Every structure is written in C-alpha cells, then in structure tokens.
Amino acid sequence: MTGFIFLDKPKDITSFVAANKLKRILNVKKTGHTGTLDPMATGVLPVMLGGATRFSQYLPTHDKAYRAKILLGTVTDTLDITGTVIKRSKVNVSAERLEEVIKHFIGEISQLPPMYSAVSKDGVRLYKLARQGIEIEREARNVIIHYIKLLDVPDANNEFEIEVSCSAGTYIRSLASDIGEALGCGATIAELRRIEANGISIEKTVTLEAVQKYADEGRIAELITPCDVMLGCYPAVNISEKQAVRFENGGELDLKRIRGEKKDGFCRVYSPEKKFLGLGRISLPENTLFVEKKLVY
C-alpha cells in the first residue's frame, strides 16, 4: 500500500502516534508524516504510506493556515495551556486595541522558536532540553504572516479566536505569545487547529475512525492519494519500455529519447503505460536523466 492519506489528527496524541495508528489499521510496514503538529493541536496531517515515505524530502513546501483560540492574561512555559503557568495578569483589552495590535504582526516578522519545539540546537531537540529545565539562546527566524483574521473578540473568559495564514516554519504559539506581550497582559494558546498544509485543506481530511470504517469495508483505496499527485509541482516525462526497465534498475537515461518537458531539475518519470516510476533528475549539460528516487510499491 503506497500513497498518502490526509488525516484529521485528533487531540492529545503526537503526530508520530497518529501515523502509527494508521499503520496498525492499514497493516502497512511503514508510515511517516509531514509537518509535525503539537499533541494538543488537531487538523491536517498528511500521512505517507509504504513507499511514499521515500519522497518526504521532495514534497513542495506550501503555506499553512490555522485557527487558534488564544487565552489572554496567562503565560505558560510551553506557550499553550498544556504547560505550567508562570504568570497571570489582569486583562483589560478592547476589541479595537486587539485589532490594532494584530495588524503589526502581518507581513514578514522575526520570530523566536519556542523552547518546546522540534528545532535542533547542536544536534539536540529544544523540547528535550526544555524538559530538563534548560533554556538556551535561540536564533530568531523570519517568517511571513499573510493574514490574521479576528474571528471572535475576547469573551468573559478572556479568550478570542483568530485564523492565520503563514509561511512554513511559523510557530502559532510564538505568535500568540508575542501578541499577548504587545497587549501587555501575556497570552497562551488554548486551542489550535491546522486547516491547511501541503496544499491540503481540512475538508479533504478524514478521522482515524473513518479510516477504520473504510478499511473494514474494503474501501481504503478511496482515501489514498497517489505519490505523483503530491509531487505534481515537478514536470512529467515519458520514457520507453526499455528505458523503464533501465530506470527501475537505477540506470541513467539519454535525454534524446525522452518525451516531455526537459529542464534542469527533478521530474516525474512515467512508463509507456502511464505508471509512475519515481523521480528523475535532469542534467541538460550532460544530456542525461538520472534516477533520483524510485517508487517502491
């Protein structure tokens, strides 16, 4: 079984555990996922099945979108409500003040990765250091916030909701914390839901329960997206039957005998039967198509 399933990750489990649950349901040897979600977060989690895991590094990087409920007046060590509260403050924030502050976070901004994150420092994940009570200096990174929509103004519990579209690598927990700091009362994430990732919207996702139902009914193929669809950003080339055998054996191919768009870089390679064979790498100076990554079904 090879391809992608777009999972609506449930709350309170890691992305790794979610992918492993799919592995058991579908009885496949290997699964992987793209774009880790925090355990408390839900939403779009593309999961790779079988041979699809070979292509994780080649998937195009897309912008992402989230819906977040933010609690004002509370600061935690993890920047979300699962952490330890380290500060509480009185809240006196009007909707007008909130909207004004939010505007300053739209566009290219500098953001400091949270200590509780998968970012590596000298080969060690930051969250592992954070669990030991160690906080180290981190390098700020530039990210892009395309828009922030205020969906709901602060209620009696000092919670409000936003929708955010941002570049890959953006931490919504850090964004919420920075907004809270700008408001002078602090803030933390109360709920987080990813509604778009890798070009996949939340409407295209399925729950673990739905996957189990489809598997029980023998209809799991209806949920699987082929690898070449996810790699659609690369041009397609068609090769002959003999070339297909050579490609599958790892041999390079002469460009003169290949049909399709030929330009330097990666390309999707198809057999005469339109079977996706994997990714090739074209070198125009060498007039050659090299095998970059074969698809193993």
Q: Active-site positions?
A: 38
Kindly state the tokens that stand for 42: 């839900």
CA angle 144, 149, 153 (to 5 degrees): 135
What gap in Å lies between CA 32 and CA 9, rounded to an integer? 13
DSSP string, 66-124: EEEEEEETEEETTSBTTS-EEEE------HHHHHHHHHTTSEEEEEPPPSSSS-EETTE
Residue with tokens 């004004």: 100
What gap in Å lies between CA 24 and CA 215, rounded to an integer? 11
How many C-beta atoms surround the C-beta of residue 14 within 10 A? 14
Kindly state the tokens that stand for 263: 């330009």
Half-sphere exposure of 250 (CA within 13 A, CB side): 0
What gap in Å lies between CA 53 and CA 25, rounded to an integer? 17
